Amino acid sequence: MAGFVGIDFGSHLVKAAVLAGENSPAEVLRLAGGGHSPALPFVMQSGKAAGAAWEQYLRRRADSSVAFAFRDRVWEAASGYALGGRTVRAADMLTPVCAGIREAIGTALPDAAAVGLSVPDRWPQTTGWALPQALAADGWNPTLLARESVAVLADWLHDGGQRSLNRVLLLSLGAGAASASLLVLGHAGDWQLADTACHDALSGTALRELVIADLAREVVGQMRRDPTESAADDQALHDALEEALHALTSCSECDLHAVLFGKPVTLPFSAARVAQLARPLADRLQTVMADWRLRFSRGGPIDAVLYWGDLSARLPVERTLKQVFSTAETHARDFYCVARGVARLVGLVHAGRLSRETADRCERLPLFPALPACDAFGPAAATVQARVVRLDGGSRRMLPVGDALRFGRDPNADYAVEPSFSQVSAAHAVILRRGSLYVLTDLKSTNGTYINGNLLTGPTPLTHGDTITLAVDGPRFRFENP
């Protein structure tokens, strides 16, 4: 079975998307998480022998000079990293990471036909990137490299995003520095990366350090010792924070568990606590977005803003963007949008509908304003996709269903319901495509899901015109599949 793989080596997490076929749903993998250094927990669990130099790097994983900067410090193959009195090549350091990635992906899809890799928009154009060289050293030759913004745009368009736009701003709000990329539809009918910007002081890393400082104060109050003064305990606290933050993607409160100074410690943790600590970053977000609106609007108004990343769930991003980019559409993309977009591009190249030469330049994605004639995205671009239409107002009037559409108050949901609807659960309901059918399922919500006024008791196929209501007196939608 042919399969296509997209790898998003983020500044903090490694993500991958695996497609069993060109138009199949994506199986997503969260390959790394926790601690100061991206991919390290995953590599250690993978059982791969990393060599003496890598072991030295593992021993330094709590070093603040390494924290959250590994990918960007070793982006160029010829660059080196000082370890144990000698300099180790970047590509050699990345090889065990790539070996671990390949092992995990191979378990999910042993017969992968091709692999693609995302690269940050702000990296300069070169043939000497370390990541593809490390993949090749492990036996994988990437089919293509794709800029992050191009991958996200491809994923959005595949899911039925608006195609009559000319200027799209893409915001990466992950663990690394917040970055913005402007893609402009050129006269030749392809999207071009027109401008980029980044802001180092606005990042998921900055938020984590605010939370760590607050947690450390609580630990000092309980144990009379500061965990940040010990490299091992500081690392343990960071690891525990990552697990807690991941837990908050599906709930509003949880316990943070860590072993500090040789003793188990449990601390109460909540999304409200994170939001309180994030207020300085929320103010910074407002300022940065206002500056970027002035910068990127010089050549014309912004038609749409796509955003994704860790901060999307921690800061009032949607509200801020609607205030600053008042005339533009705003669309939140999920955690795996970069990896999934790269996998889509790999599938298009494999099918001959996207030029590999164009893709390898990392700068252009051939798309056309007359989108029904868009060869890259195939016949689906010319057909009317199933969609849901909001019936009671709301910030988003219509949204295509695609392969899956998840509803809830979680900001990362495909349709994120306004926080004022407290009766709606964080993960409330989902519509899944099953061949030619679309099936509505309640996700064990607190107040239930209704179809045409009747409480949903199990997965139910939808028909054109059905009305969906989330909880009693909650948001209402009409399912359309003409």
- What's the pLDDT at 116? 80
Please provide the DSSP assignment of 125-140 as one string.
P-S-BHHHHHHHHTT-
Query: Is the pLDDT reported for residue 405 higher than 60?
Result: yes
Query: Is the pLDDT reported for residue 287 higher than 90?
Result: yes
Distance between CA 115 and CA 335 in Å, rounded? 19
User: Locate tokens 């700068």: which residue?
Assistant: 363
Torsion of CA 389, 390, 396, 399, to 10 degrees: -20
**Please, where are the H alpha helices in 60-129?**
70-73, 90-108
266: left (phi over 0), alpha (psi -120 to 50) or beta: beta
Q: What is the DSSP letter of 459?
A: -
Helices 90-108 & 52-59 angle (0-180, nearest 10)? 90
- What's the pLDDT at 221? 92
pLDDT band for position 369 (cuts 50, 70, 90): very low
Which range in 125-139, 172-186, 264-278, 337-351 is most confidently predicted, on average pLDDT?
A: 264-278
Query: Is the pLDDT reported for residue 470 higher than 90?
Result: yes
Three-point CA angle 228, 234, 237, nearest 5° = 115
- What's the pLDDT at 51? 44
Q: What are the φ/ψ torsions at residue 102 (nearest 5 degrees)?
A: -65, -40
- What's the pLDDT at 49? 37
Question: Which one is predicted more confidently, 328 or 78?
Answer: 328
Sign of CA dihedral 291, 164, 346, 415: positive
Averaged confidence pLDDT in the chain: 75
Helices 317-324 & 279-296 angle (0-180, nearest 10)? 30
**What one-letter code names the amino acid at 154?**
A
- In terms of Cβ atoms closer than 10 Å to its own Cβ (0-12, 13-18, 19+), residue 229 is exposed
**What one-letter code names the amino acid at 263?**
K
- What's the pLDDT at 120? 78
Give the number of other Cβ atoms within 10 Å of residue 235's Cβ.
21
Percentage of the chain modeled with pLDDT above 90: 28
Of the candidates 311, 351, 371, 357, which has an alpha carbon nearest to the alpha carbon of residue 153?
371
Tokens, residue 437: 């059918």
State mean pLDDT over 332-349: 85
Sign of CA dihedral 300, 305, 311, 313: positive
Beta-sheet pairing, 467-470 with 398-400 = unpaired
User: Structurally, what CATH architecture does the domain formed by 4-144 represent?
Assistant: 2-Layer Sandwich (3.30)
**What one-letter code names the amino acid at 297?**
S
Query: Is the pLDDT reported for residue 118 higher than 90?
Result: no
Torsion of CA 32, 35, 38, 44, to 10 degrees: -60
Inter-residue contact 353 to 380 (CB < 8 Å): no
Query: Is the pLDDT reported for residue 337 higher than 80?
Result: yes
Of the candidates 454, 401, 392, 463, which has an alpha carbon nearest to the alpha carbon of residue 431?
401
Tokens, residue 464: 């054109």
pLDDT band for position 69 (cuts 50, 70, 90): very low
Tokens, residue 436: 């030619």
Distance between CA 385 and CA 378 in Å, rounded? 13
- What's the pLDDT at 217? 94
- b/e per residue 407-425 (b: at least 16 CB within 10 A): bbbbbbbbbbbeeebebbb
Residues 6+ positions from 326 with CB-CB distance below 8 Å: none
Residues 301-310 pLDDT 10s: 899 999 998 8
Distance between CA 162 and CA 47 in Å, rounded? 44
- Whether CATH 2.60.200.20 fits 387-480: yes
Give the number of other Cβ atoms within 10 Å of residue 183's Cβ.
28
Distance between CA 420 and CA 297 in Å, rounded? 32
Question: Which one is predicted more confidently, 332 or 187?
Answer: 332
- What's the pLDDT at 110? 59
Residues 6+ positions from 41 with CB-CB distance below 8 Å: 32, 33, 34, 35, 239
Inter-residue contact 177 to 200 (CB < 8 Å): yes
In the chain, ranges of CATH 2.60.200.20 domains: 387-480
Please provide the DSSP assignment of 308-357 as one string.
ESGGGGTS-HHHHHHHHSTTSEEEE--TTHHHHHHHHHHHHHHTTSS-HH
**What one-letter code names the amino acid at 113?**
A
Residues 428-454 pLDDT 10s: 999 987 766 788 999 999 999 999 999
Query: Is the pLDDT reported for residue 268 higher than 90?
Result: yes
Q: What residues does 144 pair with on adjacent strands? A: 116
In the chain, ranges of CATH 3.30.420 domains: 4-144
Query: Is the pLDDT reported for residue 474 higher than 70?
Result: yes
Beta-sheet pairing, 253-260 with 263-270 = antiparallel
Inter-residue contact 190 to 365 (CB < 8 Å): yes
Query: Is the pLDDT reported for residue 137 higher than 70?
Result: no
pLDDT band for position 184 (cuts 50, 70, 90): confident
State mean pLDDT over 132-142: 66
Residues 189-246 pLDDT 10s: 667 778 889 998 898 888 988 999 999 999 999 999 999 888 778 878 887 887 788 7
Tokens, residue 247: 């837990």
